[in-house]
């Protein structure tokens, strides 16, 4: 059963034909960690901000639906996501920047409890301290009285997670949650996220450019490039049997030297058709149109015109 | 013949009195001609301070740095030594002069350090741009007209202009997208083959260091706790910190069987170190002796030194 279903999401710059996300779809089942991966500029953070209703000025949702437990969150009038408390919570890449620097961290978490459950100040604070203990913070009572600048990056990320959990979210969106942290601290945060999924059955949308972190954490993976979904499948599908030329290129780029032309071309949002077209070594005239995601195995889909050719028994051009 | 770079008993303490922060606490390290030595470790382990002392940008509190047989002292390095040791920084956007053209930036070290008159620099600039894979037309560009990857190439080109013997690279790839890192490593390797330059390569990114270094030193709280050949270190780490670090570093290899060692707690503050081994509070192998005495780097097998009583009982000072 899918907890979160995003479908046909198109997001663009106001008064410009350019789309940052083009017809993007993905889903997150209960108790699963789904990776949303891509390079800088692939649109992965925009997808998260759309769901949280945090898009910056000048960026508009053109179409699409966001459902939680089958319930539509996208308001068709305003084209914004109307969340209920407890639908989604997000943790950010730079926890120290995301926390309020002028408020003690315990108070910041307590406020979530007050707002959501209407409990009094003292009760909210004791719930906050309990929550800090649950995310593995030793001496939670003492830490609750600290300001964010007095805590390390790893500690602040735990505070952010505690605050996210205070909402008891069905979906946790983690946007590069450990990029700013050291490896040994990253391991602790990964364990914490895994434990929470097990305990609460929440679904996690794990957004990152770090393929190794995806291999480590995710059950299924959606690969984005230039705002288009290139491929989706189980972790094994993506890492062992990638079918889309972009996914193959992305995996190769981490492990060996790849064609420099492909790397430096970047993303061209003006491009009509497949956004990877001008960087793809298989590109041909067909790629001036946008390929549909087609099934290439059980639960494994890829958007590339090559698949139709392979189907017809022809080799790669 | 002595090594090109010999670091002996190097200390750096910032501040004094009770708040004194010992960032580097007695480091010994050699770099041979044409060799790449990687230094890895987490935030605050002292790797950048070590790099800056070698490059002559930070003055050591105690200890010796010998370069090609002569003593280096940060404050009085000769022009000749400044020419022979160059540095590449983490953030090219900050380390390049944004008011100068690429050509002017590359000409400057030649004029100031190698005494080449301005009129003779053009050919060498174009040759160098070719070496780092940039078109000669880049001479007239300014940093803001370049992508992050191109800026870092200019920074590398600038460091190589005066034909140095040693280049100190401080996290040269961490501001780059993962897909660009592979290309930067290949570039550095090719330059090394052509120019026989040595690299001191500082990074927290284990994957990058594994691909470029001949030997790797692991730092923890201002000391090298293990140093070995790259393969030796990655395939068979000995120090409990190295083991934990490597065991939790995410990998794309889904087949790698491993036992994750998740360290508890965080690195203690260098201003308040315990008596004995500084890793004692997080070490799974800790025993009484570790709380009383400090271990020192000890040769345990060919080319490998480890600073740990559990691994090398004779490592007492």
- Is A282 exposed, middle or buried (CB count within 10 Å of its CB: 0-12, 13-18, 19+)? middle
Distance (Å, whole) CA B197 – CA A195: 48
Tokens of A15: 């008064």
Q: What was the pLDDT predicted at A256?
A: 64
What was the ipTM of the complex prediction?
0.79
Phi/psi of residue A56, nearest 5 degrees: -70, 160
- Helices A105-117 and A121-134 pack at an angle, to 10 degrees, of 120
Higher pLDDT, B170 or A86: B170
**A 134-153 → B contacts, CB under 8 A:** 138, 152-153
Check CB contact of A239 with chain B, cutoff 8 Å. yes
Closest chain A C-alpha to B43 CA, distance in angstroms: 7
Instruction: Answer whether A39 sits within 8 Å of B179, measured CB to CB.
Output: yes
How deeply is B252 buried, as exposed, middle or buried, from its count of CB atoms within 10 A (0-12, 13-18, 19+)? middle
CA B163 to chain A, closest CA, distance in angstroms equals 26
Whether the predicted pLDDT of A123 surpasses 60: yes
In A, which residues are within 8 Å of B182 by CB distance? 253-258
Is A90 in contact with A52 (CB distance < 8 Å)? Answer: yes
**Could you tell me the pTM of the whole model?**
0.84
| pLDDT surpassing 60 at residue A260 | no
- What are the pLDDT digits (tens) for B239-274? 999 999 999 988 888 887 778 888 888 888 888 889
Give yes or no for B259 touching A (CB within 8 A): no
Nearest-angstrom CA–CA distance, B152 and B134:
11
- Reported as a single tens digit per residue, the pLDDT across B120-161 is 888 999 999 988 888 999 999 999 999 888 899 999 999 999
Binned at pLDDT 50, 70 and 90, residue A266 comes out as low
Distance from CA of A81 to the nearest CA of B (A): 31
Q: A272 to chain B nearest CA, in Å? A: 23
| Best CA proximity match to A162, nearest among A136, A182, A181 | A136
Question: Quick check: B180 and A263 CB within 8 A?
Answer: yes
Residue A238, number of CB atoms within 10 A of its CB: 28
Q: Is B317 on the interface with A (CB under 8 A)?
A: no
pLDDT, tens digit (0-9, with 9 covering 90-100), for A175-196: 988 887 888 888 988 998 998 8
User: What does the pLDDT look like over A202-252, one tens digit per residue?
Assistant: 999 999 988 999 999 999 999 999 999 999 999 999 999 999 999 998 888
Instruction: Measure the CA–CA gap between B169 and B90, rounded to whole angstroms.
Output: 8
- What is the residue-averaged pLDDT of chain A? 89
| pLDDT tens digits, A2-30 | 999 999 999 999 998 888 999 999 999 99
CA A309 – CA A291 distance, rounded (Å): 12
Is A260 within 8 Å of B133 when comparing Cβ atoms? yes
Output the CA–CA distances (angstroms, integers) from residue B242 to B150, B212, B219, B236, B283, in the order listed.
33, 18, 9, 10, 11
- Which whole number is the average pLDDT over B304-308? 96
Q: What is the pLDDT of residue B74?
A: 55
Q: Testing the interface with A: which of B47, B203, B204, B252 to mutate, by most A Cβ within 10 A? A: B252
Any A CB within 8 A of B178 CB: yes
Residues of chain B in contact with residue A239, where contact means CB-CB under 8 angstroms, are: 252, 254
CA angle B87–B186–A248, rounded 5-degree value: 135
- Looking at residue A317, what is its pLDDT? 45
Q: pLDDT band at A316, cuts 50/70/90?
A: very low
Q: Please answer whether residues A118 and A162 qualify as being in contact, where contact means their C-beta atoms are separated by less than 8 angstroms.
A: no
């Amino acid at each position: 059963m899918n907890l979160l279903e995003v479908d046909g999401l198109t997001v663009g710059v106001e008064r410009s034909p350019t789309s940052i996300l083009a017809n993007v779809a993905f889903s997150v089942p209960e108790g699963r960690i789904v990776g949303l991966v891509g390079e800088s500029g692939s649109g992965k953070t925009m997808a998260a901000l759309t769901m949280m209703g945090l898009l910056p000025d000048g960026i508009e949702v053109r179409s699409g639906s966001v459902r939680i437990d089958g319930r539509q969150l996208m308001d068709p009038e305003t084209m914004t996501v109307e969340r209920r408390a407890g639908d989604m919570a997000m943790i950010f890449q730079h926890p120290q920047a995301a926390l309020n620097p002028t408020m003690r961290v315990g108070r910041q978490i307590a406020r979530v409890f007050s707002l959501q459950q209407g409990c009094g100040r003292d009760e909210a604070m004791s719930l906050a301290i309990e929550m800090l203990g649950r995310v593995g913070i030793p001496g939670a009572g003492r830490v609750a009285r600290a300001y964010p600048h007095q805590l390390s990056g790893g500690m602040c990320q735990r505070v952010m997670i505690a605050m996210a959990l205070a909402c008891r979210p069905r979906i946790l969106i983690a946007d590069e949650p450990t990029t700013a942290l050291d490896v040994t601290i990253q391991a602790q945060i990964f364990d914490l996220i895994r434990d929470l999924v097990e305990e609460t059955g929440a679904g996690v949308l794990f957004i990152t450019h770090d393929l190794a972190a995806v291999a480590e954490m995710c059950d299924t993976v959606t690969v984005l490039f230039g705002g288009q979904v290139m491929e989706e499948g189980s972790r094994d599908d993506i890492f062992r049997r990638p079918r889309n030329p972009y996914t193959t290129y992305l995996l190769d780029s981490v492990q060996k030297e790849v064609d420099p032309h492909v790397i430096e071309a970047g993303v061209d949002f003006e491009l009509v058709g497949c956004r990877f077209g001008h960087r793809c070594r298989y590109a041909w005239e067909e790629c001036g149109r946008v390929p549909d995601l087609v099934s290439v195995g059980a639960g494994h889909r890829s958007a590339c015109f090559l698949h139709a050719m392979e189907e017809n028994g022809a080799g790669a051009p | 013949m002595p090594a090109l770079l010999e670091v002996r008993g190097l200390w750096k303490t910032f501040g004094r009195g009770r708040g004194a922060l010992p960032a580097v606490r007695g480091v010994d390290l050699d770099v041979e001609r044409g060799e790449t030595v990687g230094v890895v470790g987490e935030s605050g382990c002292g790797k950048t301070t070590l790099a800056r002392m070698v490059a002559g940008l930070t003055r050591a509190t105690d200890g010796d740095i010998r370069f090609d047989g002569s003593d280096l002292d940060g404050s009085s390095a000769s022009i000749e030594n400044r020419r022979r040791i160059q540095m590449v920084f983490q953030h090219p956007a900050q380390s390049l002069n944004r008011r100068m053209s690429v050509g002017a930036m590359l000409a400057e070290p030649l004029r100031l350090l190698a005494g080449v008159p301005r009129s003779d620099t053009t050919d060498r600039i174009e040759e160098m741009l070719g070496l780092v894979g940039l078109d000669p037309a880049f001479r007239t560009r300014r940093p803001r007209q370049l992508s992050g990857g191109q800026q870092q190439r200019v920074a590398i080109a600038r460091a190589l202009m005066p034909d140095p013997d040693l280049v100190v690279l401080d996290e040269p790839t961490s501001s780059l997208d993962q897909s660009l890192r592979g290309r930067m490593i290949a570039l550095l390797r090719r330059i090394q083959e052509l120019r026989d330059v040595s690299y001191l390569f500082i990074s927290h990114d284990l994957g990058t260091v594994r691909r470029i270094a001949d030997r790797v030193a692991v730092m923890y709280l201002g000391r090298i706790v293990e140093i070995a050949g790259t393969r030796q270190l990655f395939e068979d780490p000995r120090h409990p910190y190295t083991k934990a670090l490597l065991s939790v570093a995410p990998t794309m290899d889904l087949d790698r069987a491993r036992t994750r060692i998740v360290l508890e707690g965080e690195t203690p503050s260098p201003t308040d170190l315990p008596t004995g081994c500084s890793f004692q509070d997080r070490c799974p192998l800790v025993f009484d002796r570790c709380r009383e005495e400090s271990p020192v780097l000890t040769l345990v097998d060919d080319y490998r030194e480890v600073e740990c009583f559990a691994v090398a009982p004779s490592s007492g000072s």
